[in-house]
Amino acid sequence: MSKAPITPAYPTGPQAKQARMRALNGLAEGMGGSRILAIASEVRELAAQGVKVCNLTVGDFSPDHFRPPAPFVEELSQLVKDGHTNYPPSDGTLELKHAIVDFYERRLGLRFPIESVIVGSGARPPLFSAYDCFLSPGDVLVYAVPSWNNHYYAYLNQVEAVAIQTRAEDGFMPTLEQIKPHLKRARVLHLNSPLNPTGTCISEEAMRDIAQAIVDENKRREEADEPSLLLIYDMVYWLLTYGETVHHDPISLVPEVARYCVYVDAISKSMASTGLRVGWGIAAPYLQNAFKALIGHTGAWAPKPEQLATAKFFNNDVQVDAWLDDFRGRLQERLDLIKRRFDEMAESGLPVAAIAPQGAIYLSIQVDLIGRSLPDGSVVTSSEDIRSFLLHKAQVAVVPFEAFGLEDAQGWLRMSVGAVGVDELGAGLDRIEAALRLIS
């Protein structure tokens, strides 16, 4: 006769709060959760109540609309069947490292040494490893906002965060003029282009100016025997650009910056493969041992079948180009639809604006309702009020730029198109227009 199961005696209510405070250290106790995930939870609650929401919050891809490249999936399935389910090398398979090096040479004209590639389970391990390897508590981290997760990573590393508040007229991209006053104190500068959350790209001039300023500052530091200024460049969306937009990377423009620069990249977005967890960092070989050790100790390795399948896919330019042409076309169809509809709303007198899609899977929109009265009589005082109004009145879920660190976003919001169909998106935009016409 089997014994009755034991129910663990976990504390609840006030006792749980006291137990948590006794168990966690100060860093863990003060760690905040993602605001985007909190919004997603609100969307799920509405869905559970039967409300159909056009969800433009998640930086992900719904398999109903976007799936990874078929040749990649077929190869991945075969590799699992063939038994490639053991541990990979902790810093990546040689097959994938060689494929990445060759891919960058063909696509960017950059020939990195094989020793510069560090593979991890998505872009986050090499990104977070760069923070851990470069920053000590109290160091200065400089980054532009709006941007993804920098404020959380700054907290976890206990650094002094300098968040540069960017402007819509600059595409929410930083300029050298804004960055330069902070370079002398900075230990790390973190840039991202194409940018999450705005879907905009840094210009060639701005990228060259910033990269050259990093080189010049490091020359000064080397003469003074001071720690280096490092650049983390997140380019996970670089294969997703639209129209005449060109992706610019710092090493192509200023080769001397390479020794101070780490590139972060992944298949997550460019191959609609967020759950398959293959990413990498490109860093000077003299940094490789530190990155390899950190990723190895945390076990943040990309699964071996995914690595080998990525390598085979990257080595076939015909398949890659066919995939990207189709994938970008379907994404741009959605982004262009938002831009066109917001332009039409603006022309009709509604207080909205949108920035033309340049890259990634996002579009920056502005719904300028600050100070206006809603149908229930309440007055809009923040972008959060606008977000809530669109969710509950138009059943469209978006993310305010405050969630990405921009202090006074003035109604600027992120729309993400990876998990929505064209018809569903069009209906959501209809509801937004109808809701805005109710505003006084």
What is residue 26's predicted lDDT score, i.e. its pLDDT? 84
pTM for this model (two decimals): 0.94
Cβ pair 199, 363 in contact under 8 A: yes
Alpha-carbon dihedral 395, 399, 400, 401, rounded to 10 degrees:
-160
Instruction: Find the helix or strand (DSSP H, E) in which 42 lies.
Output: helix 35-48
414-426 core/surface letters (b: 16 or more CB in 10 A; e: else): bbbbbbbeeebbe
Segment 116-125, tens digit of pLDDT: 999 999 999 9
* Residue 236 token pair: 């996970």
CA distance 183 to 174: 13
Q: List, in sequence order, every beta strand (DSSP E) within 273-407.
A: 279-282, 352-354, 362-367, 396-397, 399-400
**pLDDT under 70: residue ranges of the chain:** 1, 33, 440
Domain boundaries, the chain: 29-66+324-436, 70-321
Alpha-carbon dihedral 238, 239, 244, 250, rounded to 10 degrees:
30
What is residue 440's predicted lDDT score, i.e. its pLDDT? 63
**DSSP-derived 3-state class of residue 33:** coil
Segment 387-414, tens digit of pLDDT: 999 999 999 999 999 999 998 889 999 9
* Overall CATH class of domain 70-321: alpha beta
Q: Indicate the CATH number for domain 29-66+324-436.
A: 3.90.1150.10
Amino acid identity for residue 138 in this structure: G
Segment 311-350, tens digit of pLDDT: 999 999 999 999 999 999 999 999 999 999 999 999 999 9
